[in-house]
Structure 1
Amino acid sequence: MPPKLPPHTADALFFCPSCSTWRRSFTNTNTTNLLRRAHQRRRPASTLAASSHPSPASPTVNGARNVPERFRELYAALQGVRDVAANHVNMSRLQLALRGLEGEKGIVRVAVLGLDNTATTARLVRLLLADPLSEKAEWEDYLQTYRMESSRGLLIRYGEQTNLAVGNSLVPTISIPSRALKTGNLEILVSSLGARSISADQTIASDALLVPTIAIQSTSTGAHSFVRYPVHKSMVCGKGVNGLLAYTGLVGRVNPNTADSIRAAFELNVGEGATPEGNDGISFVDIERAETALDMFRESVQNATEYEKGWTGSGVQPLVDWISSPAKDVAIDPAIKRLVDSTLDGAEKSIVSEEKRKVLALEANTVPEEVRMALHETVSAWAERAHTELRDSLDQGFASKPWRTLAWWKLFWHVDDVGMITSRILRRKWLPEAEKEVVWMGGKIHQAGLLNQETNSTNPIQNSTEFEISEEKSSTFSRNLWPTQIPDTRKQLTTSSVPSLHRFAQNLVMFSLSTTSLSSALSALVYVSTSTTSVYEAGTIATIGLFYSLRRQQKQWDAARGFWEREVREEGRQALKETENVLRSVIHEGGRGIETAPETEARQQIDRARQALSNVK
């Protein structure tokens, strides 16, 4: 493959498909003006300069484009397709379709692509464009001797006068006074198609034959670049059985929807008689026989019979009819209509393929439902075991000897052990096994791939408020790989509830001691100050104070212990509930790919373009 242009050269060159002109961004003003004047002399009047075109992003039909009224709806719809479906539509073919609508009779481009034998291609083009009623023209000799092995192809346009000076155009262009070009409003692109360089395991674009690639060689460095040149119809020209085999290898890899726009012709001498026309748009021609018949008729009209026999038997006439047959009594040229149809079909097919690809990618990135169901069952079994553990372990903890040592009457010498004993119960009896299993389940969930993808928040796990989880709590899973409600709740109880209970026990003991001391002091004072008061009478006051303080301590401490036991159990149930909800939420929503929005607008715009095409009258 020839090397591409270097970046600095590629930036200085650009290609306008409408006028096939090579332009350079030179800084020299005189050189630029000279090239511009040469381009204006060379360009036909029907071609619009690229610099005069409005921005392609504008969906409005500009009057400067001279779009006929009956084409304006279709023109605007195709511009809308270009804007909303730029990633799916073939922009080269779409621009060609838009250009074909910028006039009552748009130019139809036909590519004649030679399979590794450009001499045969040029000879066939000469026969397709030759007028048997005229003398042999200069351009016919030019085509008979033309070779494209080292050139950029050849663009043939209609002109009142023959102009064989190719100049500095991107694609070498000549103008010839061919009646076939004028009648059919045609442009013929003659280029080569190196089918032998394409191996069987390589693929080509579905529209490769309708958007041929032209190699452009830099005059300064000799490097090559490539330009895509869209056409309405393509004819592949080959020679012999080898050319036919090469074509069958190519045509099997192109879009079948474009079959009406592609035809093949192969030079195959089958002797005298009519040359058969194969199926699937394949024709067999005898170029030498057609050239002989044409020369005989030009020598003398008396050879009309031989000409008719030789020309018909050569198989060239069906190709002439296919290329240059003018449209009759139709609203839009069939070639342009097929181009619009195939372009819209290609865009719609691209959208479908993209959506299928996204669906497959979504399915590949989504954890199977069987795995989710198995994990849900695991969570259910864990929740049952955890609630049983909470009940049984706390029952054992509150029935243990350390907790019994905190009875109200033992509080006087165990008051400093309240914090230690309660913290030990929380550490050893408050869901230790459930916490370990949560870590294990977090590993199982991570192993299943439920934490590897961004979750799709559009699918709620439940509609009930029972399963509502705050964003802060649900986010702990993603930070720690497993829910942390159990250790967080234990830490909260240890830092808030345990110190409160310890402080309350100290207050009760202090109140009992102070009340007993004051009542005893008052009893002694009464006994000393009053001689008539007996010891039993004075001791009554101390007894009342002692009884009141102990009764108060018993009542309030038992209530405090019962409240703390209920609080610990309730906080445990709440922690288990939140942990279960977080696990189920991650199992339900995790491991799902992001669902992208469908290409609704692009589909609607394509449908509008199809409707506008059917409305053309």
Structure 2
Amino acid sequence: MPPKLRGSLPRSLSRIGDNRAVFYCPSCSTWRRALSTRRSGTISSRLEHNRLSFFSSRSITTSSVVHARHVPPRLRELYDALNQIKGVATGQVDLSRLQLALRGLESEAPVIRVAVLGLNDATAARKLVRLLLADPLNSRESWEDALNAYDANTSRGLLIRYGDVSETIPNNLLPTISVPSPILKHGNLEILVSTLGTQTQLSDAHFTADTFLVPTVTIPTSHSGLANTVRYPVHRTIVCGRGVDGLVAYNGLVSRANLKNEERSVYGTIDLAVTDSQKSNDRLAFVDIDRADEALEKFRESVQNASLYERGWNGSGVQAVQDWLSSLRTDEGTLDPSLRSLITSLINSAENGVATDEKQKTQDTDSKATSDDVRASLDRSVTEWAERGHTELRGSLEEGFASKQWRGLAWWKLFWHVDDVGMITSEILEKKYLRRAENEVIWTAGRFQQAGLLEAPPAEAPKPTTNGAAIANTEEQWPAEIATSRSRLLETSIPSLQALAQRLVLFSMSTTTMTSVLSALTCVSVPTTSIYETGTMVAVGLIYSLRRQQRKWEAARTFWEDEVREDGRRALIETEDHLRSIVQEGGRRLEEESAEPDSRKTIDRARKALENVQ
């Protein structure tokens, strides 16, 4: 006769009136009640807080701060380097998986999370987990009945951990069962039983490694039926399907997900009876759940059925899955292989993401690049503009200097035109100083803008200078050397020329006046002096002052004309150089240090720190 089974867990759920079982969980920020069944002794009335790290992971997407709690010294460098990846490659790595890796580095014996996910439903997954954790030397235990009886919404998931048999209230966050299984204890494992959901049936759904390694569970938020979907990152995943359809679906999911570096982290089990030669490999196992269950029950009926149990258990293929679970444990003092695999995956994801961003930026730059033919055409237009500009400079200024107004400023006319010097010279600069060339520069800049050459400042663009004053035109919509040169002449040379004319007129008038007064005094004081002698003094003073005025004013006029021509020529040359630099380098992105080099340095540091950890 089979041994009498103990009462199943659902019966114990009626004992909710025991206030001693009620406690407040700071991680969940809600009141919880722990119920238990008894196998031998009194079960703890509250769940261990560190076993509910899942709920604390809900905040990882809203918080960028990771608080280290007693990180082992040998893991500190790796912890810090991995934590920095979150800052430089946020868009390239899954933050929930990164948080899981950081939590694992906070202990020498991290908890390894394994998800057992059913395809579309969790029936086969629950049966497989029961067979993996069941102790054939003991009679059927209450947690087995609880696991079999768990037929609520499978999207909520079911968490299985090592410990005495207990379970949270079904409508309270993530239901949890504690199982005294040696596999869980020795491997420090937690198992999430859930399902991939109906999304796997969608032909246009997008699948990645996160589809398997970051399953989602539904957490109810109120009695109204509202719920939140929470990401639950794990280290390893077992995908459980049934029949030929499950095998086809699993192969399709794996091929579309393109697991790459996560191949060893995903293990498939298909409930399908096959020949012994096709039982399993390192990525897929065929199991016969019914045969394994029958063998387990036979052995529990009587130890005399050991041979039947051995044949049935080994023939079912479940042992291969159990061996895969047992292989997850590691030697003390070394980094857990599952944790190392997770960290390697995160580093690779960050590196691939940065490389993808760099490639995309390069493609964007190339797509916006101006062709060589367009640049050659624009360069020819600059040459033609420069030729027209020099022709204009020569012709327009000659016309301005030959005008009636400028000739009206002859040295002998300064006495009645001295106040017109500033007005006449300013009019010449405003009307005759490269007006057409400046307008054509604006039109040429419009062509550059249309060709995409002004989207970024030219690399190493020359900064034209005038009298040592640097003129930076990178913020201008077109080169402003001509306008700047004209403004300088208006502000500096014209006032100097105006002041010189006034000084010359004043000197001539004062000198002539003084010699006239001296001549008159001589004539009065010296009666013998003739009128001719006194007149000579006046003539000498007048001739000297007028000759000086003529010589200095004509020299100033010639110097100013040459200065205007030279400044115009220099402005044309500087504008031409500026335009050619835009043609050659315009539209190209500047070679400057960006975020990618910093990201690569951080990733390389994390990879090196991982290699240094045993």
Looking at structure 1, the residues matched to 542 and 26 of structure 2 have their Cα atoms a distance apart, in angstroms, of 114
Offset of residue 280 of structure 1: 7.4
The aligned residue for residue 82 of structure 1 is 83
Amino acid aligned to 2:223: S
Looking at structure 2, the residues matched to 515 and 125 of structure 1 have their Cα atoms a distance apart, in angstroms, of 120
- Secondary structure (helix, strand or coil) at the match of 1:478 reads coil
Verify: 1:111 aligned to 2:108, yes or no: no
Verify: 1:559 aligned to 2:555, yes or no: yes
Verify: 1:214 aligned to 2:217, yes or no: yes
Measured at CA, do residues 537 and 297 of structure 1 come closer, stay the same or move farther in structure 2, by a change above 3 Å?
Answer: closer
Verify: 1:474 aligned to 2:477, yes or no: no
Structure 2 counterpart of 1:318, from 317, 320, 326:
320
Offset of residue 228 of structure 1: 1.8
Identity across aligned pairs (percent)? Answer: 48
Q: Which moved more, 1:587-596 or 1:522-531?
A: 522-531
Measured at CA, do residues 460 and 405 of structure 1 come closer, stay the same or move farther in structure 2, by a change above 3 Å?
Answer: same
Measured at CA, do residues 450 and 460 of structure 1 come closer, stay the same or move farther in structure 2, by a change above 3 Å?
Answer: same
Verify: 1:233 aligned to 2:230, yes or no: no
8 Å CA contact retained: 1:293, 1:310: yes
**Size of the alignment, in residue pairs?**
573
Amino acid aligned to 2:149: T
Looking at structure 2, the residues matched to 440 and 529 of structure 1 have their Cα atoms a distance apart, in angstroms, of 76
Offset of residue 432 of structure 1: 1.9
8 Å CA contact retained: 2:461, 2:582: no
The aligned residue for residue 257 of structure 1 is 261
Q: Which moved more, 1:286-295 or 1:372-381?
A: 372-381
- TM-score, length-scaled by structure 1: 0.76
Q: Which moved more, 1:324-333 or 1:235-244?
A: 324-333
Structure 2 counterpart of 1:434, from 419, 422, 437:
437
Amino acid aligned to 1:290: A
Structure 1 residues 270-316: Cα deviation after superposition (integer angstroms, max 9, x where no partner): 5xx43724777233333223323333343445544544444333332
Q: Which moved more, 1:288-297 or 1:234-243?
A: 288-297
The aligned residue for residue 597 of structure 1 is 594
Measured at CA, do residues 192 and 552 of structure 1 come closer, stay the same or move farther in structure 2, by a change above 3 Å?
Answer: same
Verify: 1:395 aligned to 2:391, yes or no: no
Looking at structure 1, the residues matched to 261 and 348 of structure 2 have their Cα atoms a distance apart, in angstroms, of 8
8 Å CA contact retained: 2:390, 2:572: yes
Looking at structure 2, the residues matched to 321 and 209 of structure 1 have their Cα atoms a distance apart, in angstroms, of 20
Looking at structure 1, the residues matched to 103 and 113 of structure 2 have their Cα atoms a distance apart, in angstroms, of 11
Measured at CA, do residues 48 and 217 of structure 1 come closer, stay the same or move farther in structure 2, by a change above 3 Å?
Answer: closer
Looking at structure 2, the residues matched to 565 and 335 of structure 1 have their Cα atoms a distance apart, in angstroms, of 85
Verify: 1:276 aligned to 2:273, yes or no: no
The aligned residue for residue 187 of structure 1 is 190
Amino acid aligned to 1:247: Y
Looking at structure 1, the residues matched to 601 and 485 of structure 2 have their Cα atoms a distance apart, in angstroms, of 55
Q: Which moved more, 1:383-392 or 1:107-116?
A: 383-392
Measured at CA, do residues 466 and 421 of structure 1 come closer, stay the same or move farther in structure 2, by a change above 3 Å?
Answer: closer
The RMSD of aligned alpha carbons is 4.5
Looking at structure 2, the residues matched to 243 and 128 of structure 1 have their Cα atoms a distance apart, in angstroms, of 20
Amino acid aligned to 1:573: R
The aligned residue for residue 493 of structure 1 is 489
8 Å CA contact retained: 1:362, 1:595: no
Verify: 1:483 aligned to 2:479, yes or no: yes
Offset of residue 420 of structure 1: 5.5
In structure 2, stretches of 5+ residues that fail to align are 1-23, 36-41, 57-62
Looking at structure 2, the residues matched to 531 and 153 of structure 1 have their Cα atoms a distance apart, in angstroms, of 135
Structure 1 residues 385-416: Cα deviation after superposition (integer angstroms, max 9, x where no partner): 42343234323443456544544456667667
Offset of residue 217 of structure 1: 1.7
- Secondary structure (helix, strand or coil) at the match of 1:209 reads helix
- Secondary structure (helix, strand or coil) at the match of 2:278 reads coil
Structure 1 residues 45-65: Cα deviation after superposition (integer angstroms, max 9, x where no partner): 9759899xxx99578772xx6
- TM-score, length-scaled by structure 2: 0.76
- The equivalences for 1:4-403 within 5 A come to 25=29, 41-44=45-48, 47=51, 62=70, 67=72, 72-86=73-87, 87=90, 88-101=92-105, 105-149=109-153, 152-159=156-163, 161-164=164-167, 166=169, 170-196=173-199, 199-251=202-254, 252-270=256-274, 273-274=275-276, 276-277=278-279, 281-325=283-327, 327=329, 331-360=334-363, 375=378, 378-399=381-402, 403=406
Offset of residue 106 of structure 1: 3.5
Looking at structure 2, the residues matched to 242 and 314 of structure 1 have their Cα atoms a distance apart, in angstroms, of 19
Looking at structure 1, the residues matched to 494 and 107 of structure 2 have their Cα atoms a distance apart, in angstroms, of 90
8 Å CA contact retained: 1:110, 1:231: yes
Measured at CA, do residues 35 and 189 of structure 1 come closer, stay the same or move farther in structure 2, by a change above 3 Å?
Answer: closer
